[in-house]
């Protein structure tokens, strides 16, 4: 079964607006990570949040984690056209890094 | 800074042929993961290695095999290729084999096209 599932699947916003993407998962985890992928390119690690953390910031990125609801959100503030990409969350399914499971991703389009 | 290197970047093979993909992890990273991403799909875990031993296995077909060598680079061998094997194949590496400490670094992927 899909572990991380992103919501929405596609999001289109204007430059300068904030973009919020959500991720839900089913099993317990040690950590959750967010990745970015430009079309047909590699996955770039954005931010990692551990199961005992509730919020983390990195530049214009803000990630929250609610383990009681098994969900996470990625907020990109003051979006730019260059933020256009697909964003995936990945969880480790509480297996100490033996592998991690990606959700289907949110395709973000930031319009100039 | 050194990143995860994958080769080749692009590969075109015919059905029933064999392909070998290579992955060179970040220096001092001892864990390698292979993922397959079909067109418009999310990455799917194939297999991982920690300290040259297979550590976990995902949805990897029996036609595929992989190994990690003494210098920690890894190779994914794919035989009897099928059209459905056309995908981006990503390798990621991490340190200590334990998630959550350092995150994972992905290579740029190998785009395999089976014709």
Count of A-B CB contacts under 8 Å: 63
User: Residue B103: its chain A contacts at CB < 8 A?
Assistant: 33, 45, 48
pLDDT digits (tens, 9 = 90+) for B83-97: 999 999 999 988 764
10-residue stretch averages of pLDDT, chain B, 115 residues long: 87 97 91 90 89 87 95 96 96 68 78 97
The predicted structure's pLDDT at residue A102: 84
pLDDT digits (tens, 9 = 90+) for A37-53: 887 778 888 998 989 99
Cis? peptide before A8, omega within 30° of 0? yes
What number of CA atoms fall less than 13 Å from residue A15's CA on the CB side? Answer: 5
The predicted structure's pLDDT at residue A18: 97
The predicted structure's pLDDT at residue B40: 81
The b/e string for B89-102 (b: 16+ C-beta within 10 A; e otherwise) is bbbbbbbebebbeb
User: Residue B104: its chain A contacts at CB < 8 A?
Assistant: 33, 45, 100
The predicted structure's pLDDT at residue B3: 86
CA torsion angle A81 B109 B84 B115 (round to 10): 100
pLDDT digits (tens, 9 = 90+) for A53-97: 999 999 999 999 999 999 999 999 999 999 999 999 988 765 555
Find, among B91, B97, B96, the residue nearest to B112 by Cα.
B91
Do residue B48 and residue A104 have CB atoms under 8 angstroms apart? Answer: no
Do residue A48 and residue B103 have CB atoms under 8 angstroms apart? Answer: yes
> Is residue A42 less than 8 Å (CB to CB) from chain B?
yes
Tell me the nearest-neighbour CA distance from B56 into chain A, angstroms. Answer: 6
What lies within 8 Å, CB to CB, of A52 at 6+ separation is none
């Amino acid at each position: 079964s899909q572990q991380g599932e992103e919501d929405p699947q596609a999001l289109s916003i204007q430059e300068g607006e904030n973009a919020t993407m959500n991720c839900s998962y089913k099993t317990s985890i040690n950590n959750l990570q967010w990745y970015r992928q430009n079309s047909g390119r590699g996955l770039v690690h954005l931010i990692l949040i551990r199961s005992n953390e509730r919020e983390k910031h990195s530049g214009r990125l803000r990630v929250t984690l609610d383990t009681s609801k098994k969900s996470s959100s990625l907020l990109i503030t003051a979006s730019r056209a260059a933020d256009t990409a697909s964003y995936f969350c990945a969880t480790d399914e509480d297996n100490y890094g033996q592998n991690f499971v990606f959700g289907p991703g949110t395709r973000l389009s930031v319009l100039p | 800074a050194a990143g995860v290197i994958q080769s080749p970047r692009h590969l075109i093979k015919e059905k029933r042929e064999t392909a070998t993909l290579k992955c060179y992890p970040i220096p001092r990273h001892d864990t390698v993961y292979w993922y397959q991403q079909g067109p418009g799909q999310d990455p799917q875990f194939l297999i991982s290695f920690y300290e040259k031993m297979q550590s976990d296995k995902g949805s990897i077909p029996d036609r595929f095999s992989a190994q990690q060598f003494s210098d920690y680079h890894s190779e994914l061998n794919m035989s009897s290729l099928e059209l459905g094997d056309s995908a981006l194949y990503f390798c990621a590496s991490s340190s200590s084999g334990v998630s959550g400490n350092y995150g994972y670094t992905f290579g740029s992927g190998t785009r395999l096209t089976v014709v």
